[in-house]
Structure 1
Amino acid sequence: MIVLGVGGGIAAYKACELLRLFTESGHPVRVVPTAAALEFVGAPTWAALSGQPVATEVWHDVHEVPHVRIGRAASLVVVAPATADLLARAATGLAADLLTNTLLTARCPTLYAPAMHTEMWEHPATQANVALLRARGAVVLEPAVGRLTGQDTGKGRLPEPPEIFAAALALLRRSGKPNDLTGRRVVVTAGGTREPIDPVRFIGNRSSGKQGYAFARAAIARGASVTLIAANVTLPDPAGVDVVRVETTEELRAATVAAAEGADVVVMAAAPADFRPARYASQKIKKTNDGATPTIDLALNPDIAAELGAKKPAGQVLVIFAAETAGGDAALANAREKLARKGADLIVLNDVGGGRTFGAETNAAVVLDSTGPRATLGEMTKDELADAVIDHTLSRLA
């Protein structure tokens, strides 16, 4: 059973969509709102959507001892929205209502999705409470940036329900496993860069960014602080991740080099263009009446992975990717050569012949280090593959 705790903030209405996502995917859900949450969304709504009774106090159905029973039966507790007040009560162990009692008795993974005004999120008291909850093994997502109540805009918006749902599923997949990236900083690149030819055309590639986004979600579920550098990706931002958007390879380079300083793990899942037009045409290149074909001279782009590998600090793990269209031994040889040339710790070899994996929901790969192939990962979801690669990364991190 999933316990959905709902705090008393205006974002409580979004928890209705999150509840629907859980129930439609086959998960039984018990909603435990605070009394303040019922000021925004009434108990009949939660009961109708969950098919379960709704109470805020421990005095309801006392003979069933709900303040203990609900927590013990939970396989996951999700608190969304988690207000500043609720985070403070959870961190200090207060148990004044059914939800805070449930948080004390639950022995399953716990996920908090904060939502509050920017000043409240940034206050030292809130940050100390968040740090304490994370140190105890809870996953506390970073709030999103966007429109808040009134005219305010800033960091403190509840992440979108589908992304909270994805983070929750990642925790369920890891049920019983420790948050082995707690306190670690992880940088992930995703997507494909675009090199402008003129104001309307560019050189690009087919990367969708899905594998990089899967790495970001997997790292968040394991307790990491994650920066995701996204190149021309149209996917929704993963919940709890700081997203930096870039377009060109040079922009990707600048953002990645800056983010990699002090990072424990850097996962280079993006597909940067190897070449860019040597000259940019400020006006659209027109077809001519004589049918002449324009010539576009190319220049080499910076090698971001090699730069990171050359300056990699002690203890940092650099994971790179090799997208190969040649199969078998030739692909393995190319991957080994690339691993050595870039100075990376691990390389993930993908066979992309015939357009495989680009935009797909599944992937397959071979993970190699300097000693040779470490693991062959058969066809699986990109989230599962990300988790498997992180397992190999952790052995290098240790």
Structure 2
Amino acid sequence: METRLGEYVDEFTRRDWQTLPPDAVEDPVRLAVVGAGWFTAEWALPGIERSAFTEATVVTDVDADAVDAVASGTDLTGVPPEAFRAGEVAEEYDAVYVATPNATHLQYVEAAAKQGKAVLCEKPMEASPERAERLVEVCEDASVPLMVGYRMQTDPVVRRLKDLVDAGFVGDPIHVHATMSQTMLGELTGDTDQWRLDPDLSGGCALMDIGIYPLNTTRFVLDADPVAVSGHTRTEHEAFEGVDEHADFRVEFPGSVAAMCTVSQNATHASRLEISGTEGRVVLDPAFYEREERELSVERGDVRMDVEVDPVHQLEEEFAYFGHHLLTETPFHPDGRHALVDSRALEAIYESAETGESVRLTE
């Protein structure tokens, strides 16, 4: 068993999806970046630049000052949204990355699809399942590839954790515990006039913004979709009036495997993912944030292994995967239909929070 564990952690950060050598890429995928907020400036653009398979060429945002700030001193072409939607600089990019408030994703994806451009859309895909469904249909009707930005699925440590579960090191999975919390108004911004606190733009706060991490990562690791959900939400701080500040929810998977999840936008910064099975346990702590060193612990019988993981740039991995798969014409795993399952599950959790009843999920 120890030898087999060693085989799984050897070359821990390997890209098991990569078939095209980076040095073979002469013309990387050119990206138009839609949304020039802090996440784009601090994480997405550096990730695009670090990836050998992508390069950013265009940026747009409703905030002209933000566009100027991002494009200043670079070769990026900054354009207003109306010019982007009209396709005025469409010859300067091959694909579009959408990182705007949730309820505005659809309009930009519609424009990209009309221009025949591949799309990488941030999660959650839209502010409601109905709009998310429309977004997927727009891309399907235009025959343009759509990937949704679940960066945990391209993070090597999560992929190694999935390898271990797939290989049966925990036996049959029985239950999952996952948590994610942050002090949103302290860590991210002190500004209460922001889109995450506007239910029309976000669709919700704690569940929509960070609840999707434990939900989707559990789906990915278990390779299963939820069959029922239940949950509770609560709000205490006046800044979160109208949206959920804290949430806890239960997700049932086939075989009665249950995931218990807690998320908060106003609690101590933390994240953790633990999967227990009939023969062992795997724990990733911290689990979901893009800027932290992490440790993967594996336990089975009298064998315990702790792997201190050298951090990778998660956005580099995501954009490398996106660009690589476009260049090799390989289908994406986290596509639009995959993301629709999350949209429907989140809506059902909100429904359960209102009714106090568990909600069954159907196709």
Q: What TM-score does the superposition give when structure 2 sets the normalisation length?
A: 0.35
Q: For the pair shown, which has the larger CA radius of gyration, 1 or 2? A: 1
TM-score between the two structures when normalised by the length of structure 1 = 0.33
Higher relative contact order (CA 8 A, sep 6+): 2
